[in-house]
Structure 1
Amino acid sequence: MMLTFILGACVGLVLGLTGAGGGILAIPALTLGLGWSVTQAMPIALLAVGSAALVGAVQGLRQGLVRYKAAATMAVAGWLVAPLGLYAAARVSSTLLMTVFAVVMLVVACRMYVPVRGAEHTSSTLQRNCMLDPATGRLDWNARCLATLVSIGGASGFFTGLLGVGGGFFIVPAFRKFSDVRMHGVVATSLMVVTLVSLGTLAHLFNQGVTLTWAGALFTVSALVGMIAGRLAAPNIPAPLLQQGFSLLCVGVSLMMLGRAFCGVG
């Protein structure tokens, strides 16, 4: 029981700090920490991450950090694509799901770590698909920006359905790469999308007969506690340090998952 609470709190903490890591770490926490299969862990991970992300999203809205139109666009795309991920997840083995999950984590770790080292050499005036209007401070909506946000939302929705990860690990680096929104705004917007897509996907699972266990409820409550702590601490920690730390954590967890999938380790 204590282990369940600690794992949930850690997942919420990372989600609050990065806006990306909580979702992708929820499944490993439940599979490696509690011995569940990916299929068993998926609905609990979605509930915990979606609920915890809601806390951060509401805080971001109150602070004016959430790009709510962008969040709504990505969420709608995610809702439409998530059932495809659920369909695929129901038709592959748990070992294959765990392997795919581990590989995704390694890719995410590399993509988030490498740009940090070169970020200082990147021009702040670089033209991106979604640019803020200097006059209004809002995104300048055009066909290219809309297509970009729909693609990001659709990809996050597929991963949410397939792996039960919330999609924040994909939204944060992609939205940051293709827009000039500041990091704290990117994280807050990501949390809103994660909330909407995770809880929407969870509704599909509940309609299929999935039920919530006491362990799942405890994991969710502890994730909320960790989320609050993470959001309070995030403004005091440099964004590059958060990205690098999260990247290294992802590498370690993914290697543990690969060891369990192929060798029964962990």
Structure 2
Amino acid sequence: MMIEIGLGLIVGVVLGLTGAGGGVLTVPLLIFVVGLELPQAAPIGLMAVGLAAWTGAIIGLRDGIVRYKAAALMACCGVLLAPIGVWMAGRVAHDVLAVVFALVMLWVALRAFRRPPTDVSTTKAVPCELNPLTGRFRWTSRCAATVAASGTLAGFLSGLLGVGGGFVLVPALSRFSDLPMRSIAATSLAVIGLVSLSGVLSAALTGNVQWAIALPFSAGAMIGMFAGRALSTRLDGQLLQRAFGLVAAVAASALLLRVAL
């Protein structure tokens, strides 16, 4: 039990620091340390990341930095696709699923190295612009379509791979909106919490959740989220991103090597 709690702490800290990325580390940790196969690890990872994300989202709502309408739209689209991802995960060969997961991790690692560590002012037009008077989005059909598409992709990958989807949501909100980074991270966490709930329920109904591992792992992740949020204001953002990218790249390489052997 202590191992599962400790691993959950790691995931929660990463999620709290970055607003994304904790999910892609969850499954490799459960595979290499606990000894699970990917289809067993995915719903446990989804549950842990979802509960930790709820913790962070509540903190963000308290601070007034969650764009809740955008989060609700992304979550509604994601919730529809997460069960389909869970269904597909049970019908795809384990090695194929592992390769897909590793490729996603490598993409996440690349994004971590390339993404600016702090908010960068820009004059380019974005689909979702904030109203400076209200601090809320100016909703247009283009903005709504962009937000919905991001939530749809995040939800499908959430169910398929057992990840929260923050690695899709954070880059999408960074590219297609002018939200500050703190608000992007908090909004992403709100979506992750809502979408993960759908995926976990689907997995639980099919009997694919090992509760003896899932519960302590999730408890550790929730505790880690508080620690990560507390540390996020004290650590260098660029260093955090690059360290996370390095860990993700190493984990992806190890997963590919495991499949090859």
TM-score range, shorter chain: over 0.9
Q: Give 2:199's aligned residue.
A: 201
CA distance in 2, matches of 1:241, 1:140: 34
User: What amino acid is the match of 2:70?
Assistant: A
Secondary structure in 1 matching 2:133? coil
Matched, 1:49 2:49: yes
Q: Give 2:9's aligned residue.
A: 9
Conserved 8 A contact 2:83-2:198: no
* Residue-by-residue CA offset, 1:175-224 (whole Å, 9 max, x unaligned): 11111101111100010000000011111112223344222211111111
Matched, 1:138 2:136: yes
Conserved 8 A contact 1:176-1:183: yes
CA drift of 1:87 comes to 2.5
Conserved 8 A contact 2:40-2:209: no
Q: Give 2:98's aligned residue.
A: 98
CA distance in 2, matches of 1:253, 1:46: 18
Matched, 1:84 2:68: no
User: What amino acid is the match of 2:139?
Assistant: W
Conserved 8 A contact 2:20-2:165: yes
Structure 2 vs 1, CA of residues 217 and 115 (structure 1 numbering), >3 Å: closer, same or farther?
closer
CA distance in 2, matches of 1:67, 1:188: 8
Between 231-240 and 165-174, report the one with greater CA deviation.
Answer: 231-240
Secondary structure in 2 matching 1:125? coil
Secondary structure in 1 matching 2:130? coil
CA distance in 1, matches of 2:41, 2:208: 11
* Residue-by-residue CA offset, 1:92-136 (whole Å, 9 max, x unaligned): 11111111100011012112322338x89x652221111111121
Q: Give 1:229's aligned residue.
A: 227
TM-score by length of 2: 0.95
Matched, 1:217 2:212: no
1:113-262 superposed matches below 5 A? 113-116=113-116, 123-262=121-260
What is the total number of aligned residue pairs between the two structures?
261
CA distance in 2, matches of 1:234, 1:191: 15
Structure 2: stretches of 5+ with no match in the other structure: none
TM-score by length of 1: 0.93
Structure 1: stretches of 5+ with no match in the other structure: none
Q: Give 2:27's aligned residue.
A: 27
CA distance in 1, matches of 2:239, 2:31: 27
User: What amino acid is the match of 1:43?
Assistant: P
CA distance in 1, matches of 2:90, 2:131: 44
CA distance in 1, matches of 2:154, 2:219: 24
Over aligned residues, Cα RMSD in angstroms?
1.6
CA distance in 1, matches of 2:115, 2:212: 41
* Residue-by-residue CA offset, 1:28-63 (whole Å, 9 max, x unaligned): 110111110011111211111111111100000000
Between 1-10 and 238-247, report the one with greater CA deviation.
Answer: 238-247
Matched, 1:109 2:119: no
CA drift of 1:238 comes to 3.8
